[in-house]
Amino acid sequence: MPRTLNLTARPSLWGLAFLRYLRSWWYMVHLGAVAMVMALSPSTYNRENRLSAARYIYASTWQVLPWFALASALISLVIIRIVLVTAKSYGLSHFALEMVVRVLVLESIPLSAAMFVALRASMAFDASALGLARAGMSPQAANDEALRRLRRDMVPQLLANSFGVLSMAMVTSTIVLLLAYVNVYGLSPWGVNDYTRTVGRVFSPAVTLGFVLKTVLFGLAVALIPTAAILELQRYPRRVNFTVQPGALRLLFVLLLIEAASLALKYI
């Protein structure tokens, strides 16, 4: 009987399934801790790793930032208009700006940036394997080579993905703040003081700390979970389930968990 049979089908194996589940989480957390320690130790930053990190930063941020910023700006513009028009029709226009800043800058943009980077990071494994296969390797050899690179480049990738989330969130937030200002006050400079006070009211110390912490945690989750899932699968090749991207569900779950926790801390 193959070990990959669905364990939950037999109640006698539920304990085993739970243990395996816990071990999988533990593997991920352990890998994350090791990667963090490596990322924080100066000896990691040799010439080779720096170049590698630069490549990943280029791939995860430089290439996608303009398009992501443009798309986010367009969607945000629509949302800003909807919020402003609705608020004005109810006579609550002075609350609109605060709502726009809270909903877009604090909540939507970091989450969408994390999702966007996660898609790219999760695809990276298959994409690199595909590239190697095209270069004339056998599928098995290409897979092995991809895994080797993944293990070697784990720390640079972690850094690059975290940075990708942070930079997209920051750039898009700035654009959205500007768009919100222009939508509410037009191009006149006379609303700056009023606007600054509104932004100041929204970004209380707790909220700012939560925003930064959330963005950093999103970056870590996005960088770590798909890599950990792929490496774990490589350890247990017979558990491979080809229906979904490895680690995608767990990543979504963790992202939603972080978002929910942040909302709960801020508003409850």
Partner 1 sequence: MTEPLPDEPKHVELKAMILLVSIGILVAAFIGYVMHARGVFEPTQRLVLETDDSSGVIPGMDMTFAGFPIGRVNQVELAPDGKVRILVDVQSKDAKWLRTSSVFTLESSIVGETRLRAYTGVLTDPPLPAGETRSVLRGDATAEIPRIVATARQLLENLETMTANESDINASLANINTLTGRMNGPGGVLGGVMGGDAEARKLREALDRVNSLLDKTERRVYGKEGVMDDAQAAVRQLNTVLQDASTTLKKVDAVLVEAQAVGANARVATEDLGALRGEVDASLRKVNRLVDEINRKWPFARSNQEIKLP
Residues lying near partner 1 in the complex (CB under 8 A): 48, 50-55, 57-58, 61-62, 65, 92, 95, 128, 131, 134-135, 163, 166-167, 170-171, 173-174, 196-197, 199-201, 203-205, 208
Residue (of 256, 246, 5) closest to 107 by Cα position: 256
Which residue, chain included where needed, has tokens 């940036």?
113
Compute the distance between CA of residue 48 and CA of residue 156 in angstroms, rounded to an integer: 10
Cβ nearer to partner 1, comparing 155 with 254 = 155
Query: Which of 53, 111 has the CB closer to partner 1?
Result: 53
Cβ-based nearer residue to partner 1, 128 or 183: 128
Distance CA 92, CA 84 (A): 9
Could you tell me the smallest distance in angstroms from the CB atom of residue 23 to partner 1? 32
Measured CA to CA, the distance from residue 82 to residue 96 in angstroms comes to 10
Q: How far is the CB of 101 from partner 1 (least distance, A)?
A: 11
Residues sharing a CB contact under 8 Å with residue 99, sequence separation 6 or more, in sequence order:
83, 87
Closer to partner 1 by Cβ: residue 23 or 48 = 48
CB 240, min distance to partner 1, A: 25
Q: Indicate the SS3 state at residue 265.
A: helix
Task: List the structure tokens of 179.
Answer: 């768009």
In the complex, the smallest distance separating the C-beta of residue 184 from partner 1, rounded to whole angstroms, is: 16
- Work out how close the CB of 162 gets to partner 1 at its nearest, in angstroms, rounded to a whole number: 11
Q: Which is nearer to partner 1, 62 or 253 (CB)?
A: 62
C-alpha distances (whole Å) from 230 to each of 123, 220, 242, 260 are 11, 16, 12, 26
Taking the C-alpha atoms of residue 53 and residue 176, their distance in angstroms, rounded to an integer, is 29
Q: Checking phi first, is residue 91 left (phi over 0); if not, alpha (psi -120 to 50) or beta?
A: left
Shortest reach from residue 116's CB to partner 1, in Å: 16
| Structure tokens given for 255 | 């992202």
For partner 1, the closer CB: 191 or 252 = 191
- Rank residues 3 and 50 by Cβ distance to partner 1 and give the closer one: 50
**Least separation in angstroms between CB 203 and partner 1:** 5
- Distances in Å between the alpha carbon of 201 and those of 11, 102, 204, 258? 54, 11, 6, 24
